[in-house]
Amino acid sequence: MTEDLSKTDDYSLRSGGLALWLIALGALALRWVHLWLVSGTDLVGLPIIDAAFYHQWASAISQGELVGDRIFFMSPLYPYLTGLVYALVGALPWKMMALQGLLGVGTVLLLYRWGARLMGRTVGWVAAGLAALYAPFIFYEATLLTATIILFLSAVILNLTESVLAGARRRDLWLLGIVLGLSALARPLALMFLPLIYLLFFMNHRPTTVRHSAIVTVGVLIILLPVGIRNLVIGGDFTLTTSSAGMNFHVGNNPDATGLYWEAPFLSSVEPQYEDEDYRRVASEVVGRELTTREAGSYWFSRSLDWMINHPFGYITLLARKIFYFWNRAEFANNISIYLGRSLSPLLKFNPVGFWLIGPLGLAGLIRMWRRFGWKRARVAWLWLAAYFVGCVIFFVASEYRLPVVLPLMVGTGALIVEVVERFK
């Protein structure tokens, strides 16, 4: 067994040496060159759907409208961060996208750290190099969408989880909870990992499970409770994150659902503000009284659940389609399509590093890691992948929602590539 395929004590960024910083510099160059190539196009200058909503919301925040006047329908972390950037340097999308390029480099560095900790420096370098080149990462970092901040926070969570399991320090437990709460404010799907953290604590050291789980939970609530109180005061419903869960569940689970984003026939527009109003209006008409946002969400959730229970064969067929789409090489858009980006940027058009490569090689590498080094080495990667896989299958599949699973798949790909090279040597 070589050093690079064994557990290493030196997994700091300093251990990456010159090679890591060259990868980071190359990653930043790719991101900023791509942004420059598309900066004069509608991809940057004309935000649409969710991107337009975030831009308008962030612009209002930058002008002092900090509280808002309704329950959060869309996740608030990203527009508040964007609003801060707009307030400091001006409300121009490309400025936020330039910052996202730096965050993307942060994800590359953190992925090296996690990969080096698990499998050695060479695997860390390969994983970081793949993240630097990965076309969907580059694309989403030049859009006004939540993907970049979610990927960065995901890389932090993965590193903190490994640190806590190796020897739980109180500070790391608090940080893990706080970062997980922040990630939930960028996309509530991140909370799917919370019960799996409890499971990891139980499997790792049973006597401390309750205490460690409690600290992480309180850390999460420190972030989410103020949002719940704000939603209660503003809109009359206590909602820890957003009010869109019921609507999104119905989008992915109904007789006409496709497994991807499905546009309800009664929508006047797919813009988020109109989705919120139209779903609540239709639910209110069916029930016969004006519903609150929370009540409308419950109505759509119950309606989908009734269909799933009464039509099990149809639901199983839909579930199989979602699984197929999740592992498909195609990047299914629910907002802005990467295929538009490829038509505008040669850096994407001629970039071969996509899910078609990372998906199968990553799965093979993670399976190999488990079989060769045991469950303890691979547990965080597999449970993180499982959390986001189940989350997407419960709702609907989209390229943007699938991105966090690419992080463990890149480590698996790096481990497999290094092992193959070593065997050839």
Give the confidence band of 396 by pLDDT, cuts at 50, 70, 90. Answer: very high
Residues 351/397, Cβ–Cβ less than 8 Å: no
Give the confidence band of 7 by pLDDT, cuts at 50, 70, 90. Answer: very low
pLDDT digits (tens, 9 = 90+) for 116-131: 999 999 999 999 999 9
Give the confidence band of 15 by pLDDT, cuts at 50, 70, 90. Answer: confident
Residues 262-285 have a mean pLDDT of 83
Give the confidence band of 198 by pLDDT, cuts at 50, 70, 90. Answer: very high
Residues 21-40 have a mean pLDDT of 94
Which of the pair, 273 or 326, is modelled with greater confidence? 326
Q: Which token pair is 236?
A: 């009359």
Q: How far apart are CA 201 and CA 266, in angstroms?
A: 46
With 50 as the cut, is the pLDDT of residue 1 above it?
Answer: no
Residues 221-238 have a mean pLDDT of 90
In degrees rounded to 5, what are phi and psi of residue 340?
-65, -45
Q: Which token pair is 292?
A: 């609150």
With 80 as the cut, is the pLDDT of residue 301 above it?
Answer: yes
pLDDT value, residue 420: 93
pLDDT digits (tens, 9 = 90+) for 213-222: 999 999 999 9
Q: How far apart are CA 338 and CA 399, in angstroms?
A: 9
Give the confidence band of 265 by pLDDT, cuts at 50, 70, 90. Answer: confident
pLDDT value, residue 167: 83
Q: How far apart are CA 414 and CA 291, in angstroms?
A: 51
This prediction's pTM: 0.93
Q: How far apart are CA 136 and CA 343, in angstroms?
A: 14
With 90 as the cut, is the pLDDT of residue 69 above it?
Answer: no
Which of the pair, 235 or 342, is modelled with greater confidence? 342
With 70 as the cut, is the pLDDT of residue 408 above it?
Answer: yes
Q: How far apart are CA 398 and CA 104, in angstroms?
A: 20
Q: How far apart are CA 370 and CA 379, in angstroms?
A: 8
pLDDT digits (tens, 9 = 90+) for 307-338: 999 999 999 999 999 999 999 999 998 888 89
pLDDT value, residue 6: 43
Torsion of Cα atoms, 360 then 362 then 364 then 367, to 10°: -140
Give the confidence band of 9 by pLDDT, cuts at 50, 70, 90. Answer: low
Which of the pair, 290 or 31, is modelled with greater confidence? 31
With 60 as the cut, is the pLDDT of residue 281 above it?
Answer: yes
Give the confidence band of 10 by pLDDT, cuts at 50, 70, 90. Answer: low
pLDDT value, residue 262: 85
With 50 as the cut, is the pLDDT of residue 4 above it?
Answer: no
pLDDT value, residue 2: 41
Residues 184/224, Cβ–Cβ less than 8 Å: yes
Measuring CA to CA, which residue among 236, 21, 272, 250 is closest to residue 144? 272
Residues 159/13, Cβ–Cβ less than 8 Å: no
Q: How far apart are CA 118 and CA 414, in angstroms?
A: 11
Q: How far apart are CA 211 and CA 233, in angstroms?
A: 32
pLDDT value, residue 366: 96
